[in-house]
């Protein structure tokens, strides 16, 4: 899962980024409202959630919410702000925000709200995803094959989750990379191939003719239905 943070307090943004990455999310952050709106409009398909401050330089969180919703962008938006007036909450929600958390806040509560929002989009409503004899449970972060539990790292789990959300689709390496890793990460050269190799080993998916995760040479990977 990939999250975009738009927060002008850079220390807070960096702290959230580190905490969320430890919890298995890929995270980018911006500190300017106008830049944040442009990123949402241009790359919203790369993000599963936006964490948005209300008081930003360039453009307010209220304006950003309203603008992206008018463009039909329905990526979940969680407002994170020091403004705790009821009128502000109502205005943010009326402008398209999905949830509202007031600073200071518990990081565990933030994680719980993120998990709740990520269960809302149509592609993640199912309590489990299946492909052949593989079962993935997003909420529990568990994977089973043939009834046997498979222990995966956070990145391996997110990679499999992404593939299983798009069964039968060819996902190129650039799409996978942008969804699961930070834009500033420079290790793109072979990181995806390494994770695919490790994932196949743990899933015992080594038979090339009958692989669950199929290599599309020169392009990327596809999860067979």
Q: What percent of the chain has pLDDT over 90?
A: 50
- Grade residue 125 by pLDDT with cuts at 50, 70 and 90: very low
User: What does the buried/exposed string (b/e) look like for 143-175 if buried means 16 or more CB atoms within 10 Å of the residue's CB?
Assistant: bebeeeebebeebbbbbbbbbbbeeeeebebeb
Length of the chain: 225
Quote the pLDDT of residue 187: 52
Which residues fall within 8 angstroms of residue 61, CB to CB, at 6 or more apart?
Answer: 6, 33, 52, 53, 54, 55, 79, 81, 92, 97
Quote the pLDDT of residue 126: 55
- For the segment 95-99, the average pLDDT, to the nearest whole number, is 87
**pLDDT exceeds 60 at position 189:** no
Of 38, 6, 179, the C-alpha closest to 16 is 6
- Grade residue 188 by pLDDT with cuts at 50, 70 and 90: low
Quote the pLDDT of residue 124: 42
- For the segment 67-73, the average pLDDT, to the nearest whole number, is 87
The residue that leads in pLDDT, 40 or 140, is 40
Lowest mean pLDDT among 10-14, 57-61, 92-96, 197-201: 92-96
- For the segment 182-193, the average pLDDT, to the nearest whole number, is 64
- Grade residue 182 by pLDDT with cuts at 50, 70 and 90: low
Quote the pLDDT of residue 222: 93
- For the segment 43-51, the average pLDDT, to the nearest whole number, is 91
- For the segment 8-35, the average pLDDT, to the nearest whole number, is 94
């Amino acid at each position: 899962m990939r999250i975009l943070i738009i927060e002008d307090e850079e220390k807070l943004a960096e702290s959230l980024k580190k905490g969320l990455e430890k919890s298995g999310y890929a995270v980018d952050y911006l500190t300017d409202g106008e830049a944040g709106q442009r990123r949402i409009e241009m790359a919203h398909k790369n993000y599963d959630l936006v964490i948005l401050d209300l008081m930003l330089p360039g453009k307010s969180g209220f304006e950003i919410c309203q603008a992206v919703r008018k463009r039909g962008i329905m990526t979940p938006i969680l407002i994170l702000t020091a403004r705790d007036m009821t009128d502000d909450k109502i205005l943010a929600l009326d402008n398209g925000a999905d949830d509202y958390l007031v600073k200071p806040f518990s990081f565990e509560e933030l994680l719980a709200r993120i998990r709740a929002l990520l269960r809302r989009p149509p592609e993640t409503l199912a309590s489990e995803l299946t492909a052949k004899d593989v079962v993935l449970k997003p909420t529990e972060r568990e994977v089973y094959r043939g009834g046997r539990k498979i222990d995966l790292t956070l990145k391996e789990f997110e990679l499999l989750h992404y593939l299983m959300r798009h069964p039968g689709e060819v996902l190129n390496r650039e799409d996978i990379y942008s969804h699961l890793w930070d834009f500033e990460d420079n290790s793109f050269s072979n990181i995806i191939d390494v994770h695919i190799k490790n994932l196949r080993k743990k899933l015992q998916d080594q038979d090339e003719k009958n692989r669950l995760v199929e290599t599309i040479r020169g392009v990327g990977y596809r999860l067979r239905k």
